[in-house]
Amino acid sequence: MIRITRLIDFLAKRPKLTKVLAPVAGKLFPLEDVQDEIFASKGLGEGFAVKPESDLIYAPLDGVITSIFPTNHEIGIRTKEGLDLLIHLGLNTIELAGSGCDILVESGQEVKRGQLLATMNRHLLEKLGYDDTVVVTYTNDFILKGLSSPTFFRQINAKGAVQTISYNN
């Protein structure tokens, strides 16, 4: 009986691992290689980037939409554990004043991992000379207990597992 109690206690204290999904199909690469100093220096937190091969953008985690930038280039999500996630669609796309990205969710809306959030017109971004890289950052990553290192420089499917995270209790 004591062994069972110890096992239950051990399992209860073990951090719950959560898989973070790719928001888009494409080539996965580290923030340090993003052609934007704020992201490359991790000024907005840890994360990853994807050079997209699709226009469809999905939720990497369950949560609530906390912000949608008026120019449709950023979506904020907060998980029930309090992690703030930022999905940035393209680089310098704020200059497009809303062109090139259509947001399909609303602020305050609950979303599920893998749910379609937005579409991005990669052809238009390319035509106008913008980098279509999709960046995901954890803006308050200090609440994380663990963050696995993704296997970078590989092709990833949309909604494929990128890394696992665990939260401080």
pLDDT digits (tens, 9 = 90+) for 16-69: 889 999 999 999 999 999 999 999 999 999 999 999 999 999 999 999 999 999
d(CA 79, CA 129): 34
Contact (Cβ atoms closer than 8 angstroms) between residue 81 and residue 17? no
- How many independent structural domains does the chain possess? 1
CATH number of the domain bearing residue 142: 2.70.70.10
Catalytic residue chosen out of the listed positions 73, 88, 122, 159 = 88
8 within a domain of the structure (yes/no):
no
11 within a domain of the structure (yes/no):
no
10 within a domain of the structure (yes/no):
no
72 within a domain of the structure (yes/no):
yes
78 within a domain of the structure (yes/no):
yes
4 within a domain of the structure (yes/no):
no
pLDDT tens-digit map of 90-136: 999 888 888 889 999 999 999 999 999 999 999 999 999 999 999 99
163 within a domain of the structure (yes/no):
yes
Q: Which domain holds residue 108?
A: 16-167
122 within a domain of the structure (yes/no):
yes
pTM comes to 0.89
Burial 90-100 (b: 16+ CB within 10 A, else e): bbebeebeeeb
Q: Is 73 a catalytic residue?
A: no
